[in-house]
Structure 1
Amino acid sequence: MSLKIRIDDTAPPFEQVRAQISAQARSGALPVGYRLPTVRGLAEALGLAANTVAKAYRALETDGVIETRGRNGTFVAAAGTGAERELAAAAQAFAERAGRLGADEASALAAARDALRARYGT
């Protein structure tokens, strides 16, 4: 995640954080399920007050861009239709399970491709 706060920008710092995270989530630079830094961690990294980052996170959560999972952290949320959100959640669950099983990315992708080929007959 790459964020830059410009002091010469007319937008307040919380809005800069909100806009940049939102844009990166929409573009896919921050994929669904990406764990965001803690409020304090991001505030420290950007040289901002924790309340400034917390305000940006609250706005992003209201917009449905991120979701907070209690003590587990804050993550980029699935967007789109219900089916797209469910598909993104299933993909995230698969990725987490593959990681717990010790699969590398190539093995996980091969397993997913095989399952999709079997499902769609291609």
Structure 2
Amino acid sequence: MSSATVRPLIARAVTAAFMGGCSEGKHPFRVAQFCLAGTQEIPAFTGLMNEMAQEYRMEFTDRSGQTGNELRSLAAGNKNVPVNDRAVNISAHRGSEFSFGAGNLGLPAQQIAIGINGNDFEPRSCSRMML
């Protein structure tokens, strides 16, 4: 492998190590990936997740706009930075007992990956809200 190929891999590994990307989450930890019908559904999805966070008395954060701007800025100097039409980067937490994060970084804009951490999540309640 050339150094031009190895450097980005090392940079990603170091970044992931500092972000705790390879560390264990609070059990149980669930991850799901799903597709919206299109990017026009992103505001409804974000609103739904905010509503769920409020129902569970969680602090909700939406950094989607800032993340999109940051990615575009990085991509201006590096063609390997993944940028899609509409970044999603949302999260919510209630102390250290329960949290979720959802995003589409590195994915097509309508694909969302969501991670849920903790014991206080009721899948049936979530299903009812999403239907």
TM-score normalized with structure 2 length: 0.23
Larger radius of gyration: 1
TM-score normalized with structure 1 length: 0.24
Greater share of strand: 2
Flag the structure with more relative contact order, 1 or 2, with Cα contacts below 8 A and sequence separation at least 6.
Answer: 2
Greater share of helix: 1
